[in-house]
C-alpha cells in the first residue's frame, strides 16, 4: 500500500486501477474502494476486503454521463436525459441492464447502479482511468464507513490496497441516494 503526496497521485491511482489494483479514494459521499469493473480478479479482491457477497452488486462511478454511454445504450432518450441531469444530492441511478454490465457488478439484479460524480478528484480519476470505476464504501459490509485515510490504514494494515488517493470528503458527506431510473422510486434516501 502506497501513500504519497504531489502531482503524481492521480496518475498513480489511475495506473493502479488499470493494472488490476484496488485503491481507496474520496468521493462526494464517503471514502470508497475502487477498481476496474471489467477485471474479475480486482473486483474479487475488493469484495474480499469488504466481506461483501457478489450477489449484492456494486456501484459504478464516472466523470460524466458520456462515460456511461455503453450502459445507457438502448434506453429511451427521456431516461438518458433524466440520468444526465444534475441532482440536488449525489444520486446513484439503478439503470436497466442492457447486457454490458458484468455479472460481478450487477449481482443478482436486472439493473446496474451508476453515479456521475461531482467530486473534483474523483472526476479527474475517472477521466485519467478513461471510464467508470467501482465505487463501494471503504468498510466491511454492515460496519460504519471510514472517514479518514488513517482509519483505512488502521483497518487494513499493509494488506489489501494498492494505493490510497489523498483527498477530502465534502463536509457532512453521507452515502448517495439510490433511485430507480424508470420508476423514480427512492431505494435509499439521504
Residue of 188, 173, 176, 25 lying closest to 87 (CA atoms): 176
Q: How do residues 71-96 score in pLDDT, each as one tens digit?
A: 999 999 999 999 999 988 899 999 99
How far, in whole angstroms, is CA 120 from its chain's centroid?
Answer: 14
pTM over 0.75: yes
pLDDT of residue 4: 45
CB atoms within 10 A of CB 138: 27
pLDDT of residue 5: 46
Provide the pLDDT confidence category of residue 157 given band limits of 50, 70 and 90.
low
Q: Which domains does the chain have, with CATH numbers?
A: 9-188 (3.90.870.10)
Q: How do residues 18-42 score in pLDDT, each as one tens digit?
A: 999 999 999 888 889 999 999 999 9
Amino acid at each position: 500500500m502506497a501513500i504519497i503526496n504531489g502531482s503524481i497521485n492521480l496518475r498513480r491511482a489511475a495506473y493502479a486501477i488499470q493494472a488490476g489494483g484496488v485503491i481507496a479514494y474520496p468521493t462526494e459521499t464517503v471514502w470508497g474502494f475502487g477498481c476496474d469493473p471489467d477485471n474479475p480478479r480486482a473486483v474479487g479482491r475488493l469484495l474480499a476486503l469488504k466481506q461483501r457477497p457478489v450477489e449484492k452488486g456494486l456501484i459504478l462511478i464516472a466523470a460524466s454521463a458520456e462515460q456511461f454511454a455503453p450502459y445507457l445504450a438502448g434506453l429511451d432518450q427521456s431516461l438518458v436525459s433524466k440520468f444526465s441531469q444534475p441532482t440536488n444530492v449525489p444520486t446513484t441511478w439503478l439503470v436497466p441492464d442492457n447486457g454490458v454490465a458484468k455479472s460481478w457488478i450487477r449481482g443478482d439484479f436486472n439493473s446496474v447502479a451508476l453515479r456521475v460524480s461531482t467530486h473534483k478528484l474523483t472526476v479527474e480519476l475517472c477521466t485519467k482511468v478513461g471510464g467508470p470505476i467501482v465505487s463501494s464504501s471503504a468498510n466491511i459490509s454492515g460496519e460504519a464507513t471510514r472517514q479518514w485515510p488513517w482509519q483505512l490504514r488502521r483497518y487494513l494494515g499493509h494488506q489489501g490496497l494498492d494505493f490510497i488517493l489523498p483527498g477530502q470528503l465534502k463536509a457532512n458527506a453521507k452515502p448517495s441516494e439510490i433511485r430507480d431510473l424508470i420508476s423514480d422510486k427512492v431505494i435509499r434516501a439521504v
